[in-house]
Amino acid sequence: MNIAAPNEDNPAAPSWLKRPKDVNALVPEIWPVGARRDQTGVLQIGGCAVTELVEQFGSPLYVLDQDDFVGRATSFRAAFADWEVFYASKTLLTRRVAKWIEQVGLGLDVCSANELALAQAVSFPAQRIELHGNNKSLAELTAAVDQGIARVVVDCFEEIDRLESIAAGLDRMVVVSVRVSPGISAHTHEYISTSHQDQKFGFSLQSGQALAALEYVLEQPHLHLTGLHCHIGSQIMDTAGYIAAANRLCELAASLRDLTGHEISQLDLGGGFGIAYTLQDQPLTAGQWAAGLNDAVREAVNRFALPAMRLAIEPGRAIAGPAGVALYTVGVVKPIALEAGERCYVSVDGGMSDNIRPALYGADYTAVLANRISDARPLLSRVVGKHCESGDVLVHDVWLPADVMPGDLLAVPGAGAYTRPLSSNYNMAARPAWVSVQAAAASLMLRRETLDDLLACDLG
């Protein structure tokens, strides 16, 4: 978020970013359920002091609140009790995360051979796995068919041919859903809006390609067409787009029935459920999503006289995002005098290598001073990384105490989704460690990369 019009609190502040009454406060909506400050002002997550976590595991550090993660997964399972719920593994996938998802009773949505292999490594039930992707390789499709996963979501005509050939060679019948691009605007960033016509995913509904793909799948002797799938985008805050998509998919199902007599039995509305990164975000709860989508799909099914369908969703960010907190150590503090006011640049020991989302598509985060309480006045600040890019920004605008100094810890909430999977080794940065916390105990999930790790693939 760049500097916007002046407001009454600070001339350099964006109009939506009001000066807080208490710069030390933790707003419950954007922090894990176990986050609080202890009597000394140190942030605790899952009963663990962040100062002690950084001392033990180093900085930067990502902390995942197990109770928060499992609680959100459980809430989706309970709210959508009559639906299939697949966790979108691209959000965050580790052995431990896969085990939590399995224990809660969710399915797993994978998009690569390696994600599928990790699921297999922890004995995740194959019949609760679905495979996505716009360019699945022969090896990926073969692994999916060989393991007997629940279904493959096909994305192009070439893939239908590949899948039929593999299934015939293994003498298997493969359950298939067809990904449809229904032309719905998700009112989100272009890079995370995935349902308009001019993009790489799915078969276009408007052009007639989707209906043609459905007919083509029906012609394949080893493919069993059961479902329609769509994904309209990410970080969505209301049900309107899903309702429109459900109506268009049901209309497509009715067209296929009228043309071929084949009944679609499964409808997958994808994921994209938004979370609160800052106070301006107002996401729905799992229960609110369920109430809205259940009614909408029931009405659409009745409108087109379709049989009862098995319904599915694919939450990821809404489960992992709020459970994660990133911890950074302040290295440099640089006040800047601006014509419109003042700003402080606070440089930390991470950056776009561990969280590229702000640089990639302008994602907003917030931050707090995590190792102490401060009585200093709030100062509009920008939290930046240490990489050689001016776009290396982690938090564009946040009120931090004016006495933030080198060695302080900053905590960034909402960091559990799409940070580790999108991380890199830019400037040969080593990826941070991840720990899970519960009941005042911390356990290493992903160890910190070392220089030896970075050099291991460099053969000289």
Catalytic positions, written as ranges:
388
Q: Which residues on adjacent β-strands are paired with residue 108?
A: 87, 129
Can you tell me the distance from the alpha carbon of 236 to that of 188, in angstroms, rounded to the nearest whole number? 7
Phi, then psi, of 97 in degrees rounded to 5: -60, -45
SS3 10: coil
Torsion angle (degrees, nearest 10) of CA 61, 387, 428, 91: 50
Phi, then psi, of 272 in degrees rounded to 5: 100, 5
CA 187 vs CA 191, 281, 425: distances in Å? 11, 14, 32
Buried b / exposed e over 104-136, threshold 16 CB at 10 Å, is bebbbbbbbbebbebbbeeebebebbbbbbeeb
Can you tell me the distance from the alpha carbon of 220 to that of 174, in angstroms, rounded to the nearest whole number? 10
| Span between the terminal Cα atoms of the chain, in Å | 42
Place of tokens 């994978």: 110
Of 73, 71, 62, the closest CA to residue 98 belongs to 73
Place of tokens 């001392």: 55
Beta pairing, strands 378-384 & 393-401 = antiparallel
Of 154, 148, 115, the closest CA to residue 132 belongs to 154
Angle, helices 157-170 vs 209-218, to 10°: value is: 10
Omega into 221 within 30° of 0, i.e. cis? no
Can you tell me the distance from the alpha carbon of 380 to that of 296, in angstroms, rounded to the nearest whole number? 43
Whether 406 contacts 331, CB under 8 Å: yes
Q: What share of the chain is helix, strand, coil (3-state, %, to 5)?
A: 30, 25, 45
Structure tokens at 81: 């009790």
